[in-house]
Structure 1
Amino acid sequence: MSRGRSIALLSALAAGGALLVPTAAWAAPTTQVIQGDVLRLVSVADWDAASRLLPGEPVQWDVAISADAPDPGTVRIAVSATGDAPLTLDASLCMRAWGPSGCPGGATELRTAWSIPRDGSEIALVEVADTEVAHLRLSITLNTGDEGGTTDVRVHAQGAGESAVVGPGGGLATTGLSPIVPVAFGVGALLVATGAVLVLDHRRRTVRDKEDAR
């Protein structure tokens, strides 16, 4: 293999390796699980996108709330917010898992274009039977003209003598592969392929040199 062809192949491999490395635009939503003795909250959101919230560009946040209570009862679902960035929030409830086209059977609108208070108080959204799984969907938008500051929104659940809260940070159990895994895989594959090309090129040049010396 000529040096020119080796360089061309290495360039192609480098381009292929770059395709294996995900960009920020491809960031997958993060799944977070809060598991208590009774309550279980499963949160799914793209917190990377939420940290760069722009006016008019909502971020979707899904939280599934369920309970394993010893006696029949209800679970109270609420939200709270603290911070200095005004946010508008839409809240919908689905009693089945959300599908690609929305809520099977139709969702219940809990809040629409609601400017959530930012004083930290828990504001009740709905109560459900503890035998059901509530699928809460929040759509959060930064108010137009208010691009400074930050606001922390949290979802609360209370039932069977237990309380649970989930939000963008602090002691949350993250499931799924770490974002570094696809990057390491892509870089590793690129290094292995590059090494193989270099070894092959070296062996062919050695054989050619020996033949020329005869």
Structure 2
Amino acid sequence: MRGAGRFLGDAVLSLAAFGGFICVLLVILAFVFNVSLIMFKTGSMAPTIPAGSLAVVREIPAPEIRVGDVVTVDRPAALPITHRVTSVAGGPSPAERVITMKGDANEAEDPGPYTVGNVRIVMGSVPNLAYGVVWLSSPWVLALLTLGASGLVTWAFWPREADGRDETGDGERVRVPGQPENDSHSALVFLVAPLALGFALAAPAQTTTEEIVASGNLRMTSIGDRAAMAHLAPGEPVQWQVGVAAEEPGTGVVRIELLGNGNAGLGLHAAIRSCDERWVEETCTGATDKLQVAGPIAVDGAKRQLTTMSAGEERWLLFDLWLPEASAPDAAGGPVHLQVHASGSGDDVNSSPGPVAPLAPTGTNPILALFAAVGSVGLGLALAGAARMRRKRNQ
């Protein structure tokens, strides 16, 4: 039993060390070759890259873009988009290109061309792997993994009987001179530690939810990531989509309004577009309209009309919400509360994405995560060291 336990422990430690080595290798490759990972939340690139896929991307300069490449384009005041390149033309400078793109599952090309100096090209993808990454990024899972790494380090350095001890006739064990007192694989800990760091520094999970509320003849669908909107990072937009539909055709007009109140010091900005069909990422195959150009949202508590529609129609609003990078948000004043209100034919319905607030300084601060991961490994070393000293005193 003792030999089997030692074999199992060595196997687990070796596996964790291998995982830590892979983490270190991936970090080096990411820095040297500009390689990173992206997750696909929608199926606009299906069946080539279905929703839930995890893709490996590499940054390339614009002159290397070719028609047929699947690339990720970063856009100001909007989320990045990953689609297939349909055309490439010269740009304003020799280092830039003007490209058009289209999702494999979309019927139409993206609304407009993109002027880019560099893009991230998709090198490969694995279906459904993004769900595993999201699960591993859960705070509870990260906590368990970090505690597990701490326990593994404690086990690796814990003083134990060495293989060089022989049994005597009376059952006592005596130490053979020259044999090490601890036979643990202590050197492997320095590969286990990066594994714990890698998990501790992982991005928090983001989950898009869909909620439907109805009142009489009106139905409103809200689609968004509430956690992401409650922890906005400056310069990183988050999308919120709201669909309004009248279940039965009728007479009259349905008014769609936006109400904002709360902390004006956040400087919350938005760009709002509408379509008569549901948006898929940034694409809508129906008739689109710009309801608000990129700019600050009024938070004075007054309702402002966004658009109208006839009863029996359907309208989908796409909000890009972000905090400007140039200014520091005043988080002390609290969050901003947004609400879309639809009324008509004697009915009214409301929907909200929840509180919109900046990323808390203690939320996903990588320095704090680094200290937490190093602290867990250090705790294991301290416990093992204390046990070693106590054992020496008792000998």
Structure 1-normalised TM-score?
A: 0.68
Which letter does structure 1 place at the counterpart of 2:341? H
The structural deviation recorded for 1:8 is: 5.1
Assess if the C-alpha contact under 8 Å between 1:69 and 1:160 holds in 2: no
Aligned-partner SS, 1:21 = helix
Equivalent residue for 1:147? 329
* Matched length: 167
Equivalent residue for 1:201? none
Assess if the C-alpha contact under 8 Å between 2:259 and 2:338 holds in 1: yes
Aligned-partner SS, 2:8 = helix
Assess if the C-alpha contact under 8 Å between 1:40 and 1:66 holds in 2: yes
Distance 1:7 1:96 in 2: 57
Distance 1:20 1:103 in 2: 27
Q: State the 4+ residue runs in structure 1 displaced beyond 3 angstroms.
A: 8-13, 18-22
Distance 1:100 1:113 in 2: 18
| Alignment equivalent of 1:119, drawn from 300, 309, 312 | 300
Equivalent residue for 1:212? none
Equivalent residue for 1:23? 137
Assess if the C-alpha contact under 8 Å between 2:134 and 2:205 holds in 1: no
Aligned-partner SS, 2:302 = coil
The structural deviation recorded for 1:93 is: 0.4
Q: Deviations over 1:38-82 (max 9, x none)?
A: 111110111111111122111100011111246233211111110
Assess if the C-alpha contact under 8 Å between 2:229 and 2:238 holds in 1: yes
Q: Which runs of 5+ in 2 are unaligned?
A: 20-131, 139-203, 356-395
Equivalent residue for 1:130? 311
Distance 1:19 1:158, change over 3 A: closer
| Alignment equivalent of 1:60, drawn from 229, 233, 239 | 239
Equivalent residue for 2:8? 6
The structural deviation recorded for 1:2 is: 2.0
Aligned-partner SS, 2:300 = coil
Q: Deviations over 1:130-188 (max 9, x none)?
A: 21221110111123414223211111111111111111349xxxxxxxxxxxxxxxxxx
Structure 2-normalised TM-score?
A: 0.39
The structural deviation recorded for 1:9 is: 5.8
Which letter does structure 2 place at the counterpart of 1:118? V
Assess if the C-alpha contact under 8 Å between 1:54 and 1:147 holds in 2: no
Distance 1:87 1:36 in 2: 30
Superposition CA RMSD, Å: 2.6
Which letter does structure 1 place at the counterpart of 2:296? S
Higher relative contact order (CA 8 A, sep 6+): 1
Structure number with bigger Rg: 2
Q: Which runs of 5+ in 1 are unaligned?
A: 171-214
Aligned-partner SS, 2:343 = strand
The structural deviation recorded for 1:101 is: 5.1
Distance 1:32 1:19 in 2: 24
The reply on whether 1:34 has 2:213 as its aligned counterpart is: yes
